Amino acid sequence: MIIGNFRIELEPRLTSPKWLYAAVPAGSLVFAFIVGGVFLALTGHSPIGTYSSLISHGYTSTKGITNTLGLATPLICTGLAAAFAFRMNLFNIGEEGQMYLGMIGSAWAGIALAGHMPHVLAVLTVLIVGAAAGALWVLLPAVLRAKLGTSEIVSTLLLNYVALNLVNYFIFGSRGFFRDPTTSFPQGRGVEETARFHSFGNSNTYPTVIIAVLLAVALYWFMKRSNFGYETSVFADSPNTARYAGMNSTKLTLSVLLFSGALAGLAGAMYVVGPAGKVDPGLLQIGLGYAGIVVAALARYNFVAVVLTAILFAGLRVGGASLQISSNPVPIAIAVVLQGSVLLFALGGEIFRRNRLRIRRVQQVSVAS
């Protein structure tokens, strides 16, 4: 591009220095806030005031940060689920549906199995059954992908709608096992008390957040060090090389997709052992499965970064929601604009990590022939 006497060029970097990996996301965040600030100013709100209120309600106040961590807990799991599959170029975008199934599965375990179990065992059983239900929901797409090469993108996405209607059916459409029999109001049947965690203090944060963070760290270590992590990285990079080395692609595809589904199922299970305690259609409204994909992409599929990104995102939501009830209410749409801009700038910022911006004075070439 030439402006006046200057030529503006992007020049590919041969190597990206380490600090850029942190600087680009941070810069993206700043620019996203500037864009959001413009929207705020245009709608008659003070950007500074709104942002300080957002940060306080989302992160820095005790109530804010505990609300945020509570919301971030399942989001970390769906983020891990997406990152895990996407790293191997398996685009499981069915975290949403797998999470619903995790909720249904864990609620079943919490009602049917947890009654005679001690507390820790009950919670553990409920979490495991939820994870298994999530894995089961991705089994069909996984088998189709591994055996026939069917696009997992389409099949996992479509199953989200099936899962959504399944939850609606259990609560609104029928008077079955999952529906609370004691009231005519349509709501889920509560799980046994032994199958539920108590929150920290009087907050909305549950011990499941510790499990989610530990899981992220464990996954990070496992995928870096283990043979399984090694084989998936070879397979993701070059399927031909994997074949050359005699790796079993069917087995790898199946295990990666099933584990991804299990992680998404775990998100639903954590919702049950934490705030919900039952099959709760409220989960259908907040799109934590889809948000997990965004979180994973922003974290560049790095498991530890998923934790930080999930907390950042959850905070924007929590803070954004509380702005609605301030004296000069800011519409929730502004928080959504902010989230969208963070994503947009983060993805756009990639250009500056890979390229260097150069501005040169245009030189007139003259040559004697």
How far apart (Å, rounded) are the C-alpha atoms in residues 214 and 278? 25
Residues 259-278 that bind another protein (CB under 8 A): none
Give the binding range for another protein (CB under 8 A) out of 88-96, 99-107, 242-250, 272-280.
242-250
CB of 234 to another protein, least distance (A): 5
Site string for another protein, 202-241 (x = CB under 8 A): -----------------------xxx-xx--xx--xx-xx
* Residue selected from 1, 3, 5, 12 as contacting another protein according to rule CB under 8 A: 12
CB atoms within 10 A of CB 362: 11
Q: Is the Cβ of residue 12 or residue 181 nearer to another protein in the bound state?
A: 12
Which of 2, 11, 49, 162 touches another protein by CB under 8 A?
11
Nearer to another protein (CB atom), residue 225 or residue 251:
225
DSSP 171: I
Residues 321, 82 contacting (CB under 8 angstroms): no
- Interatomic CA distance for residues 268 and 96, integer angstroms: 9
The Cα–Cα gap between 33 and 107 comes to 40
x/- track of binding to another protein for residues 329-358 (CB under 8 A): ---------------------------x--
**Least distance in Å: CB of 202 to another protein?**
43
The minimum distance between CB 368 and another protein, in angstroms, equals 8
Told to check if 158 binds another protein by CB under 8 A, we report: no
**Binding of another protein at residue 13 (CB under 8 A)?**
yes
Q: How far apart are CA 224 and CA 205, in angstroms?
A: 30
Nearest to 347 by CA among 46, 25, 19: 25
Give the CA dihedral 152, 154, 156, 159, nearest 10 degrees. -150
Options 3, 22, 148, 367; binder of another protein; rule CB under 8 A: 367
Residue with tokens 């008077």: 175
Per-residue x/- marks for another protein, 274-313, CB under 8 A? ----------------------------------------
Nearer of residues 198 and 251 to another protein, judged by Cβ: 251
The neighbouring-strand residues paired with 346 are none
Q: Binding segment for another protein among 154-162, 190-198, 250-258, 361-369 (CB under 8 A)?
A: 361-369
Residues 297, 84: Cα–Cα separation, whole Å = 11
Task: Using CB atoms within 10 Å of the CB of residue 56, give its burial: 0 to 12 exposed, 13 to 18 middle, 19+ buried.
Answer: middle
What span, in angstroms and rounded, lies between the C-alpha atoms of 261 and 94? 8
b/e code 317-347 from CB counts within 10 Å (16+ = b): bbbbebbeeeeeebeeebbebbbebbbebbe
DSSP, collapsed to helix, strand or coil, labels residue 142 as helix
148 contacts another protein (rule: CB under 8 A): no
Out of 246, 285, 325, 361, the residue judged to bind another protein by CB under 8 A: 246
Name the minimum Å distance from CB 349 to another protein. Answer: 19
Could you give phi then psi for residue 281, rounded to 5 degrees? -60, -10
Nearest to another protein of 174, 238 (CB atom): 238
CB of 244 to another protein, least distance (A): 5
| 243 part of the interface to another protein, by CB under 8 A | yes
Between 9 and 193, whose beta carbon lies closer to another protein? Answer: 9
User: How far is residue 264's CA from residue 267's CA, in Å, rounded to a whole number?
Assistant: 5
- Quote the radius of gyration of the chain (alpha carbons, Å): 23
Residues that bind another protein (CB under 8 A): 11-14, 225-227, 229-230, 233-234, 237-238, 240-246, 356, 365, 367, 369
